[in-house]
Amino acid sequence: MPRFYHDDPAWSDVTPIPQLESGQVLAGISYTAEYSEAMSYLRAVMAANEYSTRVLDLTEHIISLNPAHYTVWLYRAQTLSALNRNLREEIKWLNPTALKHLKNYQIWHHRQTIIDRLGSCDGEQEFVEQMLEKDAKNYHVWSYRQWVVRRFGLFGDEGERKWCEGMMERDVRNNSVWNHRFFVVFGGLKGEVEEGLLKRELEYAQDAVRKAPQNECPWNYIRGVLRQAKKPMSTVKEFAKEFADLEKPDEVRSTHALDLLADIYEEEKKNDEAKTALDLLANKYDPIRAKYWEYRARSLDSAAVEA
Amino acid sequence: MAPDAEESGILKISKHVSYWRRNLKTYLPHHYTGTDSNRMLLAFFILSALDLLGDLDAALTDEERHEYVEWVYNCQIPDGGFRPSPGTYVGTARNQQNAVWDPAHIPGTFFSLLVLVLLGDDLKRVKRKETLIWLNRMQRPDGSFGETIGQAGRVEGGNDTRFGYMATGIRWILRGDIEGHVDDVPDIDVDKFVQCVRDSETYDGGISEAPFHEAHAGFACCAVSALALLDRLPVQTSQQKDQRLRGITDLPSTLHWLVSRQTLTLEEGEEDEGEQNGDANPSKGAQSQQDLSMVGMNGRCNKIADTCYAYWVCAPLDVLGHLHLVDTQRIRLWLLDMTQHFIGGFGKLPGDPPDIYHSYLGLFTLAMFGEPRLKEADAALCISKAAKERIESLPWRKAIVEQKI
Ligand SMILES: [Zn+2]
């Protein structure tokens, strides 16, 4: 049922302000009568800086019609604080709203404002999990989770890392989970990466590769961990060779292993081997990126000339 | 989904023209309400698409052009900058106390300026000085830019590279890429912004919205384009090195990440094929069975292809001078045969109805690839080269840029 204000006695004291534009307009939208009227009342209350319970209802109504309207969210946040509202109640209202509008960004910005004011992240991890049930790669949700980790100091937290492992079991190809693990493990780290940590992270990613050798995520993770620890790529040479051995060019099990080997051979100044790996990628195993692999092979030559 | 052989690989120019003319001349259906607070973005897409198609002059009468220009200037805020739609304007009721609810807006300002240029305006009525002062206030102490200024001067909105990109775009239009004071207005803190971009580079070579967030082609594109507009990309071998801080600390990794966004996963449901039980054999997929004539682009690792990512991935490659690292012919074919719609425009995925956002970015990508019947494109500003040249030729702007040389 559409909701209107012009015949609502609770709003009879307000003169709505219509959208002020005339003549030829750009990107005009055929608003519904309901949205059009609600916005006219919003303009009127904003012009008067009215912060009241009915304004909260009005913002809720407009959000249900257009959750991407950033001004409405900002006005709502200000109203909550002017009325000194119970912010836990706000979170209760926000939960189903967020679940309904999965792709919306403003909801998360608002949530962040409220949780920051509350100063406690009780229940937040559970709620995030609920959102991820619906859309496990939702960028805003992961960004929000990272904000929670930062704001409430959950770096290096065992629970957060274990939770990631659970998410990974559901889908080892979900790059958001890999990124979150990297963030939790290395995001709060000061100073050097200790050997034990390096070993644990490499082994974790290597196990994942064994489950699905063509999955790009753990290979990127391995490179990232090595770079973070300032170790050469050749640290994992033997591992990469399990999936791509130049001696057995017909049995390559992962293009990412070949790619990594090409880098390792380049690092070791074995340009012929590097070239063989790049040729296999360009011509046999990853022809959709042929132009890139050929470029890499040419770069080997020019690097050799310069040296 | 794919058309017959004789229809394959054809840009249906007249369909696109009528699609965009319809968007220009008639009210958009109500499902665009979700973009109500960003109408200037839609206006930009509509006018710029017609510009790329070479139809803008024919589509507008002088009278319409004049009225559109007035409509945009009505969105200008007295203290500088533009609102992104008339939705927050309260007319004569506007005062010091309620002005905070009708603020200037970074995307609103960037797209207003571009729309004015597309309409042939010389930007002389833009409150240039006020806008540049406001732009400085939009930068946070950490170097990032927000969307608007809210209560108590707080910079609202995310701190990702999208707003940074548009802020550098506003700066480029209003004062070129020269650094330091212009007309007594100090510059933004360019070094701090560049540092922000550097900190957003990810472990896999991509760029994200903030340190340690997941790499995403949209943020990568905005970051690279912003650095280009600031003249802070890595030095080319032909260039003189200088002391200025530059972005993209590891160019080979970033190129690697960008080309890795090419995918053969073109439709929903294909995502996990062969990987579930861990028996993936790359040769099985890549060599024989799979059709290599079309290549799609995704925005993140292990996501499916989506029209808009053709732009978000190929634009930074172009800006970095490395578009030749991807096979543009195959990407072109994917756009034309899979996501181009028979009524004109492009959908997000094969079979999807067209929407303004995907239709513009699909068309722009083809222009960037040198599609013969489209105008040449400038990847960083996401407009035609001709429109960019019009900005550069504005007399007042030339005076600023040349004065500094
Ligand atoms: Zn898209």
**Shortest Cα–Cα distance, B207 to chain A (Å):** 12
Which amino acid is it at A42? L
Whether the predicted pLDDT of B136 surpasses 60: yes
Are A30 and B30 an interchain contact pair (Cβ–Cβ within 8 Å)? Answer: yes
Residue from B386, B373, B402, B401 nearest B17 by CA: B373
Q: Which of residues 264 through 303 in chain A touch B, CB cutoff 8 A?
A: 284-292, 295
Taking a C-beta distance cutoff of 8 angstroms, is the pair A59, A43 a contact? Answer: no
pLDDT in tens, B195-209: 999 999 999 999 999
- Which ipTM did the prediction report? 0.96
* Closest residue, chain B, to A74 (C-alpha): B150
- How many other CB atoms are there within 10 angstroms of residue A140's CB atom? 21
Question: Would B291 be classed as within a structural domain?
Answer: yes
> Residue B64: which of A24, A74, A252 has the nearest Cβ?
A24
Over range B260-283, report the average pLDDT: 62
A237 is catalytic: no
Which residue from B28, B215, B262 is facing A30, i.e. has the nearest CB? B28
Residue B294 forms part of a structural domain: yes
Tell me how far the alpha carbon of residue B358 lies from the centroid of ligand 1, in angstroms: 6
B27 at A interface, C-beta within 8 A: yes
∠ CA A278-A282-A284, nearest 5°, is: 105
Q: Which residues contact A232 (CB under 8 A, 6 or more apart)?
A: A226, A264, A267
Q: What tokens does B104 get?
A: 């200037």
Report the separation in Å between the CA atom of B79 and the middle of ligand 1, taken as the mean of its atom positions.
35
- Give me the number of domains chain B comprises: 1
Catalytically annotated residue among A100, A103, A137, A270: A103
Domain residue limits at B340: 1-27+261-267+287-374
Q: Indicate the angle between helix axes B395-404 and B161-175, nearest 10 degrees.
A: 90
Residue B252 Cα to chain centre, angstroms: 23
In angstroms, the CA B199 to CA B210 distance is 7
Looking at residue B161, its amino acid is T
Residues of chain B in contact with residue A69, where contact means CB-CB under 8 angstroms, are 36-37, 87
Percent of chain B residues topping a pLDDT of 90: 86
* Among chain A residues, CA nearest to B291: A288
Ligand 1 centroid to residue B217 C-alpha, Å: 11
Question: For the segment A265-295, what is each residue's pLDDT rounded down to a tens digit?
Answer: 999 999 999 999 999 999 999 999 999 999 9
Q: Mean pLDDT of all residues in chain A?
A: 95
In sequence order, which residues have a C-beta less than 8 Å from that of residue A253 and are 6 or more positions away? A213, A214, A243, A244, B280, B281, B282
**Whole-number Å distance between alpha carbons of A298 and A149:** 44
CATH of the domain at B15: 1.50.10.20
Q: Is residue B215 part of a domain?
A: no
pLDDT at B281 over 60: no
**B283 touching A, CB under 8 A?**
yes
Contact B131, B173 (CB under 8 A): no
pLDDT over 80 at B1, yes or no: no
- B331, B323 Cβ separation under 8 angstroms: no
Q: How far is the CA of B35 from the centre of ligand 1 (A)?
A: 15
Per-residue pLDDT tens digits for B266-275: 877 655 444 4
Per-residue pLDDT tens over the stretch A69-85: 999 999 999 999 999 99
Using one digit for the tens of pLDDT, what is the confidence trace for A14-33?
999 999 998 899 999 999 99
The rounded distance, in Å, linking the Cα atoms of A295 and A298 is 5
Residue B296 maps to a domain? yes
